[in-house]
Amino acid sequence: MTPRIGRVERTTKETTVLVEINLDGTGRTDISTGVGFYDHMLDQLGRHGLFDLTVKTEGDLHIDTHHTIEDTALALGAAFKQALGDKVGIYRFGNCTVPLDESLAQVTVDLSGRPYLVHTEPEGMAPMIGTYDVTMTRHILESFVAQAQIALHVHVPYGRNAHHIVEAQFKALARALRYAAEFDPRAAGILPSTKGAL
């Protein structure tokens, strides 16, 4: 089987981003965005999704982390879509629930070709994790979904620690994407859609 690989390079006046993802990897990662906690989350995505993931971003961190985080997420979504290819033979749907100590994250994904995000988190979270603004989690997911063209539902019904709340989401997202993108041995050569297109 030929590995499904996506590679995207994105350059603006604010950032330079390189993302490469192999959906059929073993979870090897090489991540560098300049935002420590974000690097940690992208590492979770690769390792728990069993995606080989390279991310190299240089951004205008002298302003803040927003552009760096956003543009990386956009490139990641585009690379994921590219790697999926024609989607023939995949499961298409995936879901995973991940506990992390006191926090719980539930993620469901449809590799539908139609971008849509539903996202809920507990209120009153600490605003920052290191240099990472926790309000960026939703924006990461919005940016990823827009470029990957998937439907994604992320729900955190409870949690107290902001680090745990965000990390549980990335771990659950990784697993849900992994399950959805895997090949279904009973549906080889079949596109999982009654419309004939995804």
Number of domains in the chain: 1
On whether residue 197 sits in a domain, the answer given is: no
pLDDT at site 82: 98
Structure token pair of residue 194: 């009654």
pLDDT at site 1: 75
Q: Which of 37, 168, 23, 27 is nearest to 107 (CA)?
A: 168
For residue 115, the domain's CATH number is 3.30.230.40
On whether residue 198 sits in a domain, the answer given is: no
On whether residue 196 sits in a domain, the answer given is: no
Q: Which domain holds residue 90?
A: 5-181
pLDDT at site 104: 98
> In which residue are the tokens 């965000």 written?
166
Q: Which of 56, 58, 52, 4 is nearest to 29 (CA)?
A: 52
Tens of pLDDT along 8-23?
Answer: 999 999 999 999 999 9
Residues with Cβ within 8 Å of 89's Cβ and at least 6 positions away in sequence, in order, are: 183, 184, 187, 188, 189, 190, 191, 192
pLDDT at site 159: 98
Q: Which of 47, 152, 60 is nearest to 105 (CA)?
A: 152
pLDDT at site 17: 98
Q: In the chain, which stretches have pLDDT less than 50?
A: none
pLDDT at site 193: 87
